[in-house]
Amino acid sequence: MRQTLRFTRRLTLAAMMTLPLLLAAPRLAHAQEFPKGPVKIIIPFTAGGPTDTVGRLIAQKLQDIWGQTVIIDYKPGAGTVIGVDFVARAPADGHVIGLVNAAFTVNPSLRSSLPYDTQKDIRGVTQIADMQLALVARADAPFNTVQEMIAYARRNPGKLSYGNAGAGGTTHLAMELLKKNEKVDILYSPFKGSAPAHTELIAGRIDMMTDPFLSVMPYVKANRMKMIATFGDKRVAGYESQYPTVNETLPGFVASSLLGFIAPAGTPDAIVRKIAADTATVLRMPDIRARLQDMALAPVGSSPEQFDAFIASEMQKWSKVIADGNIRID
């Protein structure tokens, strides 16, 4: 009888030790088998621009790691909605992922309706990078710093104006948040793209603009625009001694344009983690880091949980700015 009890206990203990391995086996199998074929990265823009460039850089390296073809597929339109919707409806097996920017976190509040639920139909995979944004002024603007600009705006309400590449993006919302926090009256002039805004700023028909750092640097270097500050939490790598951040004057004020991978909800954790881990490996490569730095992009390589948390925090932050400013684009 005692031998039977001891044998039963051993069987029970063995079963308890084996069960976690059995439960983990399917997840491990998912990761080991992925990818089974070509992987498609959906870019919700037309070809060209920083999102496309980053997508191609990462795709080539992932292709080398996976030994499978990685295809860039463009699905532009409706402020990234068409491309994101394509990802949301794709099979949840990791073979279709999306590369999104800050519009992904803004659209739920900016648009009256979306064909997908941002937090239920999609999951974050990894944040690839932060894109640095900049506040620049016309070359002869009567201020040189954020503090001087705010003081000038308070003395001259409604006299200053700023532009950007179009309503609703982070370059718009960042400046609206600054205006609200500092209680300054600055007129807003949206343009259809960065190029016409650059032209108007250089001509002196607007006073300032917000745009990706990379886009305005050639004009700043040529003394056709004046750099006031950047919006990141740290100074732009390679320009630390030249350009301050807004949050050095206004502590805690940070705005950037994220770049990251998303996947359909229901994609197995093991596959999502593998994509995230392999992307992080790519981001540690010296040639990739150097190329991203040249584009004023700060590599991140977050975990899926970290990226989901960041998406949620960005959605919350910008939803308040959008609601307070009654901003809509449809």
Helices (H), the chain: 2-33, 50-66, 81-89, 103-110, 146-155, 170-182, 194-203, 213-221, 269-283, 286-294, 304-325
pLDDT at residue 323 is higher than 70: yes
Q: Is-contact 207 161, C-beta < 8 A? A: yes
3-state secondary structure of 291: helix
Lowest-pLDDT choice from 5-9, 267-271, 313-317: 5-9
pLDDT category, 255, cuts 50, 70, 90?
A: very high
**Hey, what are 86's tokens?**
């394509």
Mean pLDDT, the chain, whole residue set: 91
CA 151 – CA 193 distance, rounded (Å): 29
Q: What are the pLDDT digits (tens) for 30-72?
A: 567 899 999 999 999 888 878 899 999 999 999 999 999 999 9
Q: Is-contact 108 319, C-beta < 8 A? A: yes
CA 86, 87, 91, 96 torsion-angle sign: positive
* All structural domains of the chain: 39-129+257-325 (3.40.190.150), 133-248 (3.40.190.10)
CA 49 – CA 216 distance, rounded (Å): 14
Tracing tokens 């030249």 back to the chain, one arrives at 242
Predicted pLDDT of residue 256: 84
CA 100 – CA 118 distance, rounded (Å): 12
pLDDT at residue 184 is higher than 90: yes
119 dihedral zone (left: phi>0; alpha: psi -120 to 50; beta)? alpha
Predicted pLDDT of residue 8: 55
Predicted pLDDT of residue 219: 97
Terminal-to-terminal C-alpha distance of the chain: 78
What is this structure's pTM? 0.83
